[in-house]
Structure 1
Amino acid sequence: MLEELELRDLGPIRKAVIAPAAGMTAITGETGAGKSMLLSALQLISGGGADSARVSPEADKAWAQGVFSVGEGHPVLQAAQDCGVEAEDGELFLSRTVPASGRSRAVCGGKTVPRSVLSRLAEYLVTIHGQSDQIRIASPARQRAFLDDYARNTDERAAYAIAWQDYREVSDRLERLSAQQAQVRQQADYLKDSIAQINRVDPQPDELDTLKAQRDTIEHAAQIAQGVRAAMTALDASSLDEAGDEPGACQLVTQAIHALESIGIARISDEPVQQLKQLRAQMLDVTFSLGHYVDTEEEGADLDQLNARIHELTELVSRWGPTLQDVIAWRDQAELNVQDLDASPEKLAELQDLRQRRYRRLQQVARKLTVSRQTAADRLGETVTKELAQLAMSGARLDIRVEERTADGDGVPFDATGGDTVSFMFTPFPSAQPMPMGKSASGGELSRLMLALELALAERVCEDPSQNSQAGMTFIFDEVDAGVGGKTAVELGRRLARLAQSAQVLIVTHLPQVASWADAHYVVAKQVGAKATATTVRQVSGEERVEEIARMLAGNESHASLDHARELLAMSSLDHVA
């Protein structure tokens, strides 16, 4: 509950303090007096946008603070603790400073906090129903939450939350295991393909170096052949079956031997002849060896085939090298690794079975939650439609649709909130087509529609207040009296007073028939001075309140208007019987 609202230098209001009643508080004043600044202050402490243009002239900053009474067990206490803020003596302080230039500053419980913290906490404390705030209820999430509050289905939601958590837990485990198995299968397939590729090539440890050397030899075959032939011709031209003009070295040595032998061995030593014969034998051996190279080159090895083999081996080295020995070692280890890989199909089947069982449980509790919402939707729609008829909206109706959701891409029609979608459909007049709430109602209609919804919820709260997640909420209504007058205005005031029996209500109004129902009454008024115009906010009671109601009724304080005001105030009581 809002105990106190204080603001300084906001628009035309230099300073104001409001202590709203626990029930209904009315804020009145002539058009343009500055009543909107009070709403601006509430929006600021609720985390709304800050507009430096609203800082009072000649002031360097505007400031607003709300003091909220929060009893033990209030849901905002846990939210505040999550944000690092503690209530003090059962009170929570929310304030905001808006400089004339620069960024605003949010403070909660004496600590500077991000603006988003104020927004989060204000959701538990304040609901503003104004022209710019009606979009809240247009959110499907807010509509579902409102319907759940009305349905009082705490047990069903708790059972669903447990079932949903259990289902997601096993689904996450199954997804992780499936992903791991996919990775294992991919790894095994990679190893098998690699092993097959290496085995197909069948590399030998030193094969690549040998083949490269052989290729070099083949690529230089012409040069080698020319040199070998020249050497053999010089040694023995007959070894190549070629007749040369010049004798080779072997022929010359033979001639030398014959010349020595022709003179007779006895006449000279035979040692030179033996040495020449040994030399000739060595030259013939060399010639024979060179003839082998000539024969090899003449075989003409297939260079293309050789290059193809070298390419295959090089590919292996580039992937699993840097040498063929490394390639072979990698293959041998890969063959061992393939044997160790296990996809654990038994564990996968076990989790799949568990997920199916938990999914069936989820379906059961989701159905109970859906039934609770559908039952509450019918009752809430009828109640709100009846309320609208009393608020100058005869013929308008609210239909609340609870439809089971279709399956998503994973084949699961559930999420953390249940298995259905909730939509508030508003029909402004009998011949109109139902449209989503927020798209088919004007600002005034939407404000009264919100009032009817809050009244319906208040009736349920009276049945069992412990079931209301909005207990202790402060409701602020603006523009709910647009286009309303006469008897309808009286009914509007009566219904606001009924809501104030279970929640705190602040209403900005131009209607005396509404203001007369308030437990506390504040007047916003302009005071025009010689040099400046100031706006004051003061609480009125007794005869001052009678005078304000008379002004609202007739624009003056005549005896007739004063008597009318006293009569209206006397009749504005839930205990009054017309």
Structure 2
Amino acid sequence: MLEELEIHNLGPIRSALIAPAGGMTAITGETGAGKSMLLSAIRLISGGPSDGGRVSVGANEAWAQGVFEVASSPAAVAAAHEAGFEPEDGELFLSRKVPASGRSRSMLSGRSVPRSVLGSIAAELVTIHGQADQLRIASSVRQREFLDRYAGDDVALAAYGKAWNALRAMDDRLERLSSQESSMRQQADYLRESIERINRIDPQPGEMAELRARRDRIENAAEIAEGVNRALSALDASQVVDDVESSSATDLIDRASQALRAIHVDGVFSELADRLDSISTDLSDVVFTLSGEVDNDLGMEDLDAINGRIHELDELVRRWGPELSDVIAWRDQAVFDLEDLDASPEKVGQLQEEREKLFGEALKAARAVSKRRTAAAKELAAKVTAELESLAMSGSKLEIRVSEREHLDASGADDIDFLFTPFPGSPQMPMGKSASGGELSRLMLALELVAAEKHVVAGGSVPPMTFIFDEVDAGVGGKTAVELGARLAKLAQSAQVIVVTHLPQVASWADEQYVVAKGETKDGSVETTIKQVRGSDRVHEIARMLSGSESEASLEHAEELLKSSVLD
């Protein structure tokens, strides 16, 4: 929801601040006063193109900012997160600076961003229905998106999306096999030879470290033997020479323990004897381990064979390392890659069979989507046609055609066409080419109304959106204008609506009203001001819109109109 719109130096507007109502807000004023600048500001902060020629005379730059409440718009929050932004207190600030000459600058919550970021976020927050903006709904893509939102069948669409992605992945795989056959064959030969070489050497996890440890032992065998013997002589001489008379560490510790136990006095002596016994046990374990090392004949191993094996493994590591584990992992992955690169007729045939199966699954899912679209199109068209009756478009008709085609794409197997008949006897033409700006705005109002009602009746909530209508009242008057205002007010029950209007019968339905007025400054230049009107000020503005004057009769009429403009 748009909470605040601030504008500086845009066209005739030097400074303006608007706080639209959460429901319906009317923007009124005489023709040429500058109401279009408000739409220009919103288009700017929505990532639209900029024009330095719209900067106020004498100013260096124009600036516009919209403050949006996004806590209830998960899609807008997700778009902000994707751009690296976190809403502050549930709000996002979309702003744009346009210099008189040079490039504009887009900002999101005070930080510069690409213009496309503003566009992606604003697309989830604002929908403008003005003459320059209606062309978007003329595209088949936009019409399909609107129909799918109305149908509300995300499950069927997700199922088709999954099937389509699987089919595309298989098509890409087959394309690689056919278009890169020569290079892939060379790559397959390289992988095959590499796998054979690695398998021939057959490296094992941890083998390199083990071989190097064994080599170190052999190369230092004499030093190891001398050190082990000296250690054993000190710990237990009987393990080295047959000399039981020689004292060793284990003997001395055992004697000390026996001496302490011979004291026969409880207390510290027995505790110390226990500690010495524990030390003796540890020393015996060390002696046992070292004795085993004496028995190992390190010279029996073939040092040349070990060095040769290490050399073979080093060659593998240099090619596919940096570690032996990397070599093994590369070999295992290469086995899988080789299957894809093997462009044999049998392999291609197998993939083509799988592709046919995936195509069948995607086609089935597409037809399920098409069936739901067809039903939703019939319902939407009928309700919109009925809605047009109350919008001074009696005899107008909307038909939504869902045509199944032979090929599939990311959206399914349907061509979607919104076909509009503006009056009886008129040829049926594509939407956007068969209606005036005002008719198209009212058609879009009917579409939004029906879509909103569908979500509410289904027990859901209407996706939070700010709808802006311009020219929706073109060619309308009398009772039809009153009904138009009522329909806008109805839409405002489930969304924020901002309407630029010159009809008092429409403006009277608004929750808030702003008046755009043109005047001269002291230096003789033209300046536009925007003022919120309430109470008696609003009565006077409605009276001016009714008769161009503020007579007693027009004021009474204005008060009656405001009192009667209430939804049941």
Same fold (TM over 0.5): yes
Q: Is the 8 A contact 1:12 1:535 kept in 2?
A: yes
- Whole-Å Cα distance in 2 between the matches of residues 94 and 69 of structure 1? 11
Residue type of the partner of 1:374? T
- Whole-Å Cα distance in 2 between the matches of residues 465 and 496 of structure 1? 21
1:543 is aligned to 2:529: no
Residue type of the partner of 2:438? G
Equivalent in the alignment of 1:141? 141
Q: Structure 1's 342 and 396: CA in aligned 2 closer, same or farther, altered over 3 A?
A: closer
Number of residues of Structure 1 aligned to a counterpart in Structure 2: 415
CA-to-partner distance for each residue in 1:199-218, whole Å, 9 max, x for gaps?
Answer: xxxxxxxxxxxxxxxxxxxx
Q: Structure 1's 343 and 16: CA in aligned 2 closer, same or farther, altered over 3 A?
A: closer
- Whole-Å Cα distance in 1 between the matches of residues 4 and 186 of structure 2? 67
- Once the two structures are TM-superposed, the CA of residue 344 in structure 1 deviates from its matched residue by 3.3
Residue type of the partner of 2:425? S
1:57-76 pair list within 5 angstroms: 57-71=57-71, 74-76=74-76
Equivalent in the alignment of 1:417? 411
1:160-171 pair list within 5 angstroms: 160-171=160-171
Equivalent in the alignment of 1:521? 513
1:534 is aligned to 2:530: no
- Whole-Å Cα distance in 2 between the matches of residues 457 and 342 of structure 1? 52
Q: 545, 548, 559: which is aligned to 1:552?
A: 545
Q: Structure 1's 371 and 435: CA in aligned 2 closer, same or farther, altered over 3 A?
A: same
Q: Structure 1's 72 and 549: CA in aligned 2 closer, same or farther, altered over 3 A?
A: closer
Q: 421, 425, 446: which is aligned to 1:427?
A: 421
Task: Name the SS of the counterpart of 1:67 in structure 2.
Answer: strand
1:237-386 pair list within 5 angstroms: 343-386=343-386
Q: 447, 463, 487: which is aligned to 2:479?
A: 487
- Once the two structures are TM-superposed, the CA of residue 353 in structure 1 deviates from its matched residue by 2.1
Equivalent in the alignment of 1:42? 42
Structure 1: runs of 5 or more not aligned: 189-340, 407-412
- Whole-Å Cα distance in 1 between the matches of residues 345 and 50 of structure 2? 59
- Once the two structures are TM-superposed, the CA of residue 179 in structure 1 deviates from its matched residue by 4.1
CA-to-partner distance for each residue in 1:165-209, whole Å, 9 max, x for gaps?
Answer: 121122222332344556678999xxxxxxxxxxxxxxxxxxxxx
Task: Name the SS of the counterpart of 1:56 in structure 2.
Answer: coil
- Whole-Å Cα distance in 2 between the matches of residues 84 and 396 of structure 1? 46
1:477 is aligned to 2:469: yes
Residue type of the partner of 2:537? E
- Whole-Å Cα distance in 2 between the matches of residues 404 and 440 of structure 1? 24
Residue type of the partner of 2:549? N
1:13 is aligned to 2:13: yes
- Once the two structures are TM-superposed, the CA of residue 518 in structure 1 deviates from its matched residue by 0.4
Residue type of the partner of 2:420? F
Q: Structure 1's 442 and 567: CA in aligned 2 closer, same or farther, altered over 3 A?
A: same
Q: Is the 8 A contact 2:473 2:501 kept in 1?
A: yes
Task: Name the SS of the counterpart of 1:22 in structure 2.
Answer: coil
- Whole-Å Cα distance in 1 between the matches of residues 342 and 137 of structure 2? 54
Q: Is the 8 A contact 2:489 2:567 kept in 1?
A: yes
Equivalent in the alignment of 2:128? 128
Equivalent in the alignment of 2:196? none
Structure 2: runs of 5 or more not aligned: 189-340
- Once the two structures are TM-superposed, the CA of residue 480 in structure 1 deviates from its matched residue by 0.7
CA-to-partner distance for each residue in 1:237-274, whole Å, 9 max, x for gaps?
Answer: xxxxxxxxxxxxxxxxxxxxxxxxxxxxxxxxxxxxxx
Q: Is the 8 A contact 1:86 1:109 kept in 2?
A: no
- Whole-Å Cα distance in 2 between the matches of residues 163 and 459 of structure 1? 32
- Whole-Å Cα distance in 1 between the matches of residues 180 and 111 of structure 2? 47
Equivalent in the alignment of 2:245? none
Q: Share of identical aligned residues, percent?
A: 63
Task: Name the SS of the counterpart of 2:391 in structure 1.
Answer: coil
Equivalent in the alignment of 2:87? 87
Task: Name the SS of the counterpart of 1:430 in structure 2.
Answer: coil
CA-to-partner distance for each residue in 1:106-134, whole Å, 9 max, x for gaps?
Answer: 11122111222222221111111111111
Alignment root-mean-square deviation, CA: 2.0
- Once the two structures are TM-superposed, the CA of residue 343 in structure 1 deviates from its matched residue by 4.3
Task: Name the SS of the counterpart of 1:414 in structure 2.
Answer: strand
Moved more, 61-70 or 388-397: 388-397
Q: Is the 8 A contact 1:149 1:467 kept in 2?
A: no
- Whole-Å Cα distance in 2 between the matches of residues 105 and 353 of structure 1? 53
Moved more, 2-11 or 455-464: 455-464
Residue type of the partner of 2:455? V
Residue type of the partner of 1:112? S
Q: 434, 438, 441: which is aligned to 1:440?
A: 434
Equivalent in the alignment of 1:460? 454
- Whole-Å Cα distance in 1 between the matches of residues 185 and 89 of structure 2? 62
Q: Is the 8 A contact 2:177 2:184 kept in 1?
A: no
Moved more, 535-544 or 489-498: 535-544
Residue type of the partner of 2:518? K
- Whole-Å Cα distance in 2 between the matches of residues 467 and 172 of structure 1? 40
